[in-house]
Chain A
């Protein structure tokens, strides 16, 4: 039940984010598409290109369109890329229906409009648009349903939405959260769609009463939904506590305090990252900061956000930076890699690696025990003779990385088939023999729980993956922040991380509980409790 209570607690913010994103994208989409559609009916030469462009946008998968916006905007994450992608996406139905609606008007009507002496503009406003209105509104309703649905996909680019529930739920096998997110997204789409329908009805029947009802309904939804976001935008009154602390700091009392600061913690989309993001949030909040989380981001999106100061703190892995950002194919010694990564990040981007968290979450090839025994496989090299018969399941991100081509080459796995799937599902898939091998994360609790065998990597084809605490260039200059996070360095062992992951993935504990528990264990290991 606490699961549901937690979901409800997040609802106002996520609903507000979702509503703000979809409604502003729709409004701007309509403001662009209707005039563009009208222009296209006046200038046939514009019609083809405009419709083709909108159609082309529609063929780009929505998830890809959203993700593409981030690099196109120079690494900007959050509201803006999601807003632009959704606006583009909303355009086709409105544009197409505006063009069709106007072109399909009986030519006798437009002739009558000219015949009574209307100018082109009057004919448009008094005759053509009113007659095309039902079709244009139908387009707007289609766009509304699409955009509200697609807004759930804006979570990975860092815009909070009801999709946060869905992504978190899928990753942590929390079906309550998934259903919760789906339910509210669907409800929002239906309510908005019906309100627009009501308005159209009111316009057709010329009923001011209906129009008022629809208008008030829309206002209630918008104001009610956006209120939490609006109150957040109001300036926070300076607390006397904050000034007292500042005074204390001036007197030379060294007490790390973040009172009055707004900080953003970013994370990628899997359980370990959620737990670590919560752990970081708990630490920062304990020091008085107001923390906002940007969960579920893709690796490179998260890094872009960090270097552009959109995100203040995140946890990444040395091998990921080595391969994905530094593009270095050959792994090196673990400690050397840490030093090189830290130097590279600082020199190239001003991003500071505060230190290792203490544990390593490496990629490892894992198999179902029966299958490993049957093939006599103990190390990765043992797979080579069978590789043409084997299927490897794993994160699509992994198959695009340099280390995969390296592993494939070193161990002769070129003929192995790959099957991309969400990392949550691969453990179950290998247990149930749907795939033969997976690219497991070494800290995942499901390796032990499902009795999987981790294959040896004697040639050290996989680079080391030390979890590293990263600070954005701006955050790195924040001494209080550095002071608050420094105690976390070298505080989480492999074992602690694995059991925290297991608590969520296997035992069904909430991420919040697992993070609190992890923080308690860190404190027990000597980190001063606050």
Chain B
């Protein structure tokens, strides 16, 4: 699947140090004192209820939102020292609601960042075909279509392809599976995880779905009211939630898993 891919820049480490965001000159903070790090090739999941500051935190990483306190470091250097536009072009971003440009064909949507980077047309079109194949869309069939003529799942595949276009070493994903039906969602999760592992991408994913966080994340950051309520690997969090809020969040996926397991056991017993 990946023979034709170009060499990806080696994956990076990401670190957030005491990140804060205030919209009223420090009177109150939408995000306060958030710190976590992602090792090379790791998938970090920010999880929490809506309004907990997870998307705001994500957007400070590519400076869609400028932070008011703390630092974001990529490979040890502060992103505040880089041009915001250059920084964003070097980071893959998958938008909530996908965010494809409705007036551009699939090919042009996927090729947008290479074009911004000034690649030659021929190189862009080779790259676009490669990426569409990577996300299992036939370039011949889909390349010239407009986004409106694709299903939700297909559009999200295009969204991934677009984020990967310029071979980024860091990916940010804002509720990427939110708008999909459960079967498509499940398939895409697996596929994305596969691609992410094979390309050794460092990634930060935002979701409000605790099960999704537990199933996908190498590391989970639970956020509540702008702060980090708990963090660790899925196993650590399940075993030792620490914070009562985190424990409560774990209840529903744990119970579901137990119920499902019981059903499976029952079936086996009847056999």
Interface pick from A112-120, A323-331, A428-436:
A112-120
A117 and B116 within 8 A (CB): yes
Contact with B along A237-269 (1 / 0, CB 8 A): 000000000000000000000000000000000
Interface residues of A (CB under 8 A from B): 108-109, 111-119, 122, 126-127, 130-131
Partner of B101 from A109, A114, A117 at Cβ < 8 Å: A109
Least CB distance, B162 to chain A, in whole angstroms: 7
By a CB distance below 8 angstroms, the chain B residues around A127 are 101, 103
Taking CB atoms, residues of chain A closer than 8 Å to B89 are 116-117
A397 to chain B, nearest CB (A): 55
> Which listed residue, A109, A122, A126, touches B99 by the CB 8 Å rule?
A109
Known: A111-B64, A117-B88, A117-B113. A131 touches B102 (CB 8 A): yes
Name the distance in Å between B103's Cβ and chain A's nearest Cβ.
5
B-side contacts of A126, CB under 8 Å: 101, 112
- Does the CB pair A117–B86 fall under 8 Å? yes
Q: Which 4 A-B pairs have the closest CB atoms?
A: A117-B89, A112-B99, A117-B88, A115-B93
Q: Which residues of the other chain, A, contact B100 by a CB distance below 8 angstroms?
A: 112
Contact yes or no, A118 B116, CB < 8 A: yes
Question: Looking at the complex, which one of B85, B99, B102, B113 makes contact with A119 (CB distance below 8 Å)?
Answer: B85
CA distance A297 to B96 in the complex (A): 63
The interface residues of chain B lying within 8 Å CB-to-CB of A115 are 62, 64, 88, 93, 95, 99
Sample of 10 A–B contacts (CB below 8 Å): A108-B95, A109-B101, A112-B95, A112-B101, A113-B101, A115-B64, A115-B95, A116-B113, A116-B162, A118-B116
Most buried by A among B64, B97, B101, B113: B101
Tell me the bound Cα distance from A117 to B86 in angstroms. Answer: 7
Number of interface residues of B (CB under 8 A): 21
Known: A112-B101, A117-B90, A127-B101. 8 other contacts (CB 8 A): A108-B95, A108-B97, A111-B64, A111-B95, A112-B99, A116-B88, A116-B93, A130-B103
- Is B99 touching A117 in the complex (CB atoms < 8 A)? no
Residues of B within 8 A of A131 (CB): 102-103
Given A116-B88, A117-B88, also A111-B116 (CB < 8 A): no
Chain A residues near B87: list those with CB within 8 A: 117
User: In the complex, how many angstroms separate the beta carbon of B181 from the nearest chain A beta carbon?
Assistant: 21
Nearest B residue (CB) for A131 = B103
Closest to A204 in B: B103
Contacting residues, chain B, for A118 (C-beta < 8 A): 85, 116
Chain B 91-118, CB-CB to A under 8 Å as 1, else 0, gives: 0010111011111000000001100100
One digit per residue, 1 when the CB lies within 8 angstroms of any chain A CB and 0 when it does not, for chain B 166-192 equals 000000000000000000000000000
Closest approach, in angstroms, between the C-beta of B101 and any C-beta of chain A?
Answer: 6
Q: Closest B-chain residue to A122, C-beta based?
A: B116
**Distance in angstroms between the alpha carbons of A115 and B100 in the assembled complex:** 11
Closest-CB distance, B179 to chain A (whole angstroms): 12
Please report B residues at the A interface, Cβ cutoff 8 Å.
Answer: 62, 64, 85-90, 93, 95-97, 99-103, 112-113, 116, 162
A108, A109, A111, A117: which contacts B85 (Cβ < 8 A)?
Answer: A117
Chain A residues, Cβ within 8 Å of B90: 117
The answer for the CA separation of A44 and B125 in the assembled complex, in Å, is 40
In the assembled complex, the CB of B30 is this many whole angstroms from the nearest CB of chain A, namely: 16
Name B166's closest neighbour in chain A (CB-CB): A117
The answer to whether B103 touches A116, judged by C-beta atoms less than 8 angstroms apart, is no
- Chain A residues near B96: list those with CB within 8 A: 108
Task: Give, as a whole number of angstroms, the nearest-CB distance from A108 to chain B.
Answer: 6
In the bound complex, what is the Cα–Cα distance between A131 and B104 (angstroms)?
Answer: 10
Distance (whole angstroms) from the CB of A170 to the closest CB of chain B: 48
Please give me the residue from chain A that is nearest to B103 by CB atom. A130
Q: Which residue of A lies closest to B165 (CB)?
A: A116
Of chain A, the residue at the smallest CB distance from B62 is A115
Output the least CB separation between A489 and chain B (Å).
Answer: 71
A108 to B178, CA, bound (A): 15
Q: How far is the CA of A119 from the CA of B113 in the complex (A)?
A: 12
Bound Cα distance A113, B64 (Å) = 10
Please name the residue on chain A nearest to B117 by beta carbon: A117
Minimum CB–CB distance for B78 against chain A, Å: 19
* A113 and chain B: residue at smallest CB distance: B101
Q: Tell me the nearest residue of chain A to B87, going by C-beta.
A: A117
A114 CB contacts on chain B under 8 angstroms: 64, 88
A contact residues around B103 at 8 Å (CB): 127, 130-131
Closest CB-CB distance, A352 to chain B, in whole Å?
Answer: 65
Q: Report the Cα distance A207→B100, complex, angstroms.
A: 22
For residue A508, give the distance in angstroms from its CB to the closest CB of chain B.
59
- Inter-chain CA distance A111–B174, complex, in Å, is 12
Give A111 to B94 CA distance when docked, in angstroms. 11
Residue in A closest to B100 when the chains form the complex, CB atoms = A112
Residues of B within 8 A of A119 (CB): 85
Q: List A contacts of B97 (CB < 8 A).
A: 108
Output the least CB separation between B93 and chain A (Å): 5
Distance of A118 Cα from B117 Cα, bound (Å):
10
- The minimal Cβ–Cβ distance linking B97 to chain A, given in whole angstroms, is 6
A122 to B104, CA, bound (A): 14
| Residue pair B64, A116 in contact (C-beta under 8 Å) | no
The answer for the CA separation of A119 and B86 in the assembled complex, in Å, is 10
Bound state CA distance, A131 and B101, in angstroms? Answer: 9
- Chain A residues with Cβ under 8 A from B85's Cβ? 117-119
A113 to B85 Cα, complex, angstroms: 11
Beta-carbon nearest neighbor of B116 in chain A: A117
A122 contact set on B, CB distance < 8 A? 116
* Chain B residue contacts of A116, Cβ below 8 A: 88-89, 93, 112-113, 116, 162
Q: Give bound CA distance, A127 to B102, whole Å.
A: 9
CB contacts (< 8 Å) of B88 on chain A: these are 114-117
Shortest beta-carbon distance, A400 to chain B, in Å? 56
A101–B87 Cα distance when bound, in Å, is 30
Residue of chain A at shortest CB distance from B94 = A115
Bound-complex Cα distance A111 to B99 (A): 8
**Roughly how many angstroms separate A122 CA and B90 CA in the complex, as a whole number?**
17
| Complex interface: chain B residues within 8 A of A112 (CB) | 95, 99-101
**Contact residues in A for B162 (Cβ distance below 8 Å):** 116
Residue on B with the closest CB to A133?
Answer: B103
Q: Considering the chains assembled together, what is the distance between the CA atoms of A126 and B111 in angstroms?
A: 13
Cα distance A109–B97 in the bound complex, in angstroms: 10
